[in-house]
Amino acid sequence: MSKLILIIKREFIAKVRNKSFIVMTFLSPLLFVGIGVFVGYLSSMKADLKTIAIHDETGRFVKEFKTDDEYKYVDLSLVDTKTLKDSIVSESYEGLLLIPKSPDNATLQKSIQYISNDSPSVSFIEDVEDIIAKKMTAENFQNAGLDTLKINQAKADVSINLAKATGEEALKGLNEIKIIIGGAFGYLIMMFIVLYGNMVMRSVIEEKTSRIIEVIISSVKPFQLMMGKIIGTSLAGILQFLIWALLGLTAMFVVSSMLGVHMGATPGMQAQAIHTAQHAAGSNISMYIKELWNLPIATILISFIIYFIGGYFLYSSFYASIGAAVDNETDSQQFLLPIIMPLILGVYIGFFTVINDPHGTIATVFSMIPLTSPIVMMMRIPFGVPVWQIIVSMVLLFGTFLGVVWFAAKIYRVGILMYGKKPSWKELIKWLKY
Amino acid sequence: MSNILEVNQVVKQYGDYTALNAVSLTVPKGSIYGLLGPNGAGKTSLIRIINQITMPDSGEIILDGEKLKPEDVSVIGYMPEERGLYKTMRVGEQCLYLAQLKGLSKAEAKKELEYWFDRLEIKGWWNKKIQELSKGMAQKIQFVVTVLHKPKLLILDEPFSGFDPVNANLIKDEIIELNRQGTSVIFSTHRMESVEEMCDHIALIHKSNKLIEGKLTDVKKQYRTNEYEVGILTDNVEGLMYDLTQKFTLSQTDFKSLNDELKLQINLGTVPPNELLNTLIQRGQVTHFVEKIPSVNDIFIQTVSEK
């Protein structure tokens, strides 16, 4: 036991003292915040004002176009079209909207032109179409002798209210919030596995190439060494994550208060969260908060810790045995792919299947399979999962973990003493019999 | 005299390949035991089993009268042929770590380290990283790490490879000194002259089997051929040759000497050496009279090529 602690301590110190580890720890939050600030700055930048000439021979539409921040509309109905087209070529105007004289609206709606050297944005064209169509529709109503006011009053606006069988009111957009919470935890587990699993593998390879391995395992059992490595590396990883979280928050706070830049709230997840939050802001915020508090917070946190440990240990045992089997990192690729696949699969299933049908067959099955369960189950839990399912999934995870550790330790034990050859899958299986 | 190590009928197979075929060895306490054999004979497999790095398929190992158990790693010091240390770790920390893994407390380890660093004159290296040291310097550290915990049994795989002659000699003296203090030493090497010089017992493993084992002198006696090398100054070469060919088988030989004498190699068969000496004395001045003892090298090559 004390040997295990010695190994954990050495691995932890070796990781933490590593120069690239230190650089990564302190640089990546700055990088993230930098990107955030940059994106925020870009999105808050005003676009150039574009001048659009309107030549309206009917004279009925030009006053419907209102100049705004982006587009300035100029009424040039009196200037002849030939001159206007020339001025488009000489680029005094961004574009020319040509509304010709025509006998009726039915003909007119097919004969309007927009002339420009640049291809206009889809949203701009849609806006223009919208403005003209609205005006035309109103005119058509009038021409047909219909009362516009009554028609508007007669329009129905349906908004379905969500409710649970228990009678409580439910809120729209809550599913999104739930998947974001579950997804954040699942994603964290995946990131941690990929980052630090790799670190475990590299550290095993390093011991192999520096040939110290034989000295070490003449003092300790290979299993102790492997576990010590996995635990030591994970502790270094947790420390790094904590520093990242702390630095990230501090940097974000400092930057946003100093520059007053509205953070573009970078990567997908956060942007989505803000979007949803803004969406929700319109309706009853306090109800959302109440709903969030109703989430099984304790279950989420406890499950997170258990799935985190189980998932990380399971995968890093794989990583360790791969490290033991190969001589250098380039050789590890063929073995790494089958390990990364279930992780990616888990994330995909989480985001595409769980959000649509959290308790459907696919979501349930993959939240039981040990290789994907840490991610998929974490995403399902905010939607409320029966306790027995969580327990079955955890038992399966830890059962598999023990099996894999046994298997990994065997490969590890044989592999660390094999130098100079790149093993095949067949050979790895043969090693199990040694 | 009791034995520090007994290997009984140890079998080790890797898949279809048999690395050790029922090998038995007996290493007496206090001996320097040479484990010889060509490459791939199974020496490293056996050494790894003794160090509990791998397990034998069958057979048992007795260490100092008791069956080998996991805690025994702390009484064995092992220097593998493939030397290695953590390249980016500092010398001092690394030695402390490895010593603690062998069961020493931090304080004990420090004390021992000071003794050894002083003794090998490497005091200034404490804060250096291994990658800053030369190969020979790293080897010294490796040796210190191996003997730091005062093992009862020291197992050295090719201990002198990588050392320059000065340091090789230094390490040789240290091994002999440790042995004098009671440490039993097993060493595996291809350098026959160091076996000749240091070992009192040897074993030869070839193609997974043990072929020879025993006290070096006994093994040599077993391989002696009763050949004598003779140098004689005489005027009557023909007469001498006539006398000798009557009783013995002669062959040509050469050895270094200061005189321009007649050099002969003579197989005595069952005749006692004095009889030869008598014959020689009557015919001239004897300058050289030595039994040709088979060298370990001869025994090695002879045995390995026979099988």
B184's CB contacts (< 8 A; 6+ apart) are B4, B5, B27, B28, B29, B30, B31, B32, B33, B152, B153, B154
The chain-wide mean pLDDT, for chain A, equals: 80
Distance from C-alpha of B286 to C-alpha of B268, rounded to nearest angstrom: 17
Residue A265 banded pLDDT, cuts 50, 70, 90 = very low
Question: So what's the pLDDT on residue A268?
Answer: 47
Q: Which of the residue ranges A120-129, A226-235, B201-210 would you say has the lowest mean pLDDT?
A: A120-129
> Is-contact A112 A146, C-beta < 8 A?
no
Query: Tokens representing B76?
Result: 């064995």
Check whether A252 has a pLDDT greater than 90.
no
- Please judge whether A217 and B76 are an interchain contact, meaning their C-beta atoms are less than 8 angstroms apart: no
Residue A272 falls in which region: left (phi positive, over 0), alpha (psi -120 to 50) or beta: alpha
**What separation in angstroms does the CA of B102 have from each of A1, A408, B63?**
13, 25, 17
A:B CB pairs within 8 Å: 66
B93's CB contacts (< 8 A; 6+ apart) are none
- Chain B contact set for A210 (CB, 8 A): 84-87
- Chain B contact set for A413 (CB, 8 A): 54
| Residues above pLDDT 70, as percent of chain A | 85
Distance from C-alpha of A138 to C-alpha of A209, rounded to nearest angstrom: 81
Q: Which of the residue ranges A41-50, A109-118, A375-384, B102-111 would you say has the lowest mean pLDDT?
A: A41-50
- Chain B contact set for A7 (CB, 8 A): 101
Query: Tokens representing A431?
Result: 């090693």
Give how far A304 is from chain B: nearest CA, Å: 34
> Is-contact B38 B192, C-beta < 8 A?
no
B103 to chain A: nearest residue by CA?
A3
Q: Which of A6, A210, A211 sits opposite B97 (nearest CB)?
A: A6
One-letter amino acid for residue B17 of the chain: Y
What are the structural domains, with CATH classification, of chain A? 2-41+172-431 (no CATH), 50-153 (3.40.190.10)
Query: Tokens representing A30?
Result: 């700055």
Distance from C-alpha of A11 to C-alpha of B278, rounded to nearest angstrom: 75
Distance from C-alpha of B25 to C-alpha of B33, rounded to nearest angstrom: 10
In 3D space, the residue among A325, A342, A343 whose CA is nearest the CA of residue A334 turns out to be A325
Of B13 and A91, the structure prediction assigns the larger pLDDT to B13
One-letter amino acid for residue B255 of the chain: F
A6 touching B, CB under 8 A?
yes
**What separation in angstroms does the CA of A372 have from each of A201, A237, B51?**
21, 21, 40
A431's CB contacts (< 8 A; 6+ apart) are A410, A411, A414, A415, A423
- Please judge whether B101 and A217 are an interchain contact, meaning their C-beta atoms are less than 8 angstroms apart: no
Distance from C-alpha of A60 to C-alpha of A105, rounded to nearest angstrom: 11
A433 to chain B: nearest residue by CA?
B15
Write out pLDDT tens, residues A67-81.
887 788 888 887 777
The complex's ipTM works out to: 0.79
Distance from C-alpha of A399 to C-alpha of A391, rounded to nearest angstrom: 12
Is the full-model pTM beyond 0.80?
A: no
In 3D space, the residue among B71, B52, B70, B72 whose CA is nearest the CA of residue B10 turns out to be B52
Alpha helix ranges (H) inside B129-215: 135-147, 165-180, 192-198
Check whether A23 has a pLDDT greater than 70.
yes
- Chain A contact set for B43 (CB, 8 A): none
A86 touching B, CB under 8 A?
no
A406's CB contacts (< 8 A; 6+ apart) are none
Write out pLDDT tens, residues A141-199.
888 888 878 888 888 888 777 666 665 556 666 777 788 888 888 888 888 898 889 88
- Please judge whether A3 and B101 are an interchain contact, meaning their C-beta atoms are less than 8 angstroms apart: yes
Buried/exposed code over A63-94 (b: 16+ C-beta within 10 A; e: otherwise): eebeeeeebebbebbeeeeeebeeebeeeebb
Q: Which of A213, A220, A430 sits opposite B101 (nearest CB)?
A: A220
What are the structural domains, with CATH classification, of chain B? 3-221 (3.40.50.300), 226-291 (3.30.70)
State which H helix or E strand residue B263 sits in: strand B262-267
Q: Which long-range contacts (CB under 8 A, 24 or more apart) does A189-192 make?
A: A189/A304, A189/A307, A189/A308, A189/A311, A189/A312, A189/A374, A189/A375, A189/A378, A190/A343, A190/A346, A190/A347, A190/A375, A192/A234, A192/A237, A192/A241, A192/A308, A192/A312
Q: Which of the residue ranges A52-66, A104-118, A257-271 would you say has the lowest mean pLDDT?
A: A257-271
B172 strand-pairing partners = none
> Is-contact A271 A335, C-beta < 8 A?
no
Query: Tokens representing B162?
Result: 């990588």
Tell how far CA B221 is from the center of its chain. 18
Distance from C-alpha of A406 to C-alpha of A239, rounded to nearest angstrom: 28
Write out pLDDT tens, residues A370-397.
888 888 888 888 888 888 888 999 999 9
In 3D space, the residue among A202, A204, A198 whose CA is nearest the CA of residue A228 turns out to be A204
Distance from C-alpha of A192 to C-alpha of A311, rounded to nearest angstrom: 10
* Residue pLDDT tens, chain B, 307 long: 588 999 999 998 887 788 889 999 999 999 999 999 888 888 888 998 999 888 888 999 999 888 988 888 889 999 988 888 888 889 999 999 999 998 889 999 999 999 999 888 888 888 888 888 888 888 889 999 999 989 999 999 988 887 888 888 888 999 999 999 999 999 898 888 888 888 999 999 988 888 888 898 888 888 888 888 888 888 888 888 888 888 888 877 777 777 778 888 888 888 888 888 888 888 888 888 888 888 888 888 888 887 6
B47 to chain A: nearest residue by CA?
A218
> Is-contact B201 B27, C-beta < 8 A?
yes
- Please judge whether B54 and A210 are an interchain contact, meaning their C-beta atoms are less than 8 angstroms apart: no
Distance from C-alpha of A415 to C-alpha of A405, rounded to nearest angstrom: 14
Residue A263 banded pLDDT, cuts 50, 70, 90 = very low
B5 strand-pairing partners = B27, B63
Tell me the longest C-alpha to C-alpha distance in chain B: 77
Question: So what's the pLDDT on residue A264?
Answer: 45
Question: So what's the pLDDT on residue A260?
Answer: 56
- Please judge whether A215 and B80 are an interchain contact, meaning their C-beta atoms are less than 8 angstroms apart: yes
What is the dihedral sign for C-alpha A179, A236, A36, A255? positive
The predicted model gives A230-241 an average pLDDT of 90
Burial class (CB in 10 A: 0-12, 13-18, 19+), A190: buried
Question: So what's the pLDDT on residue A272?
Answer: 53
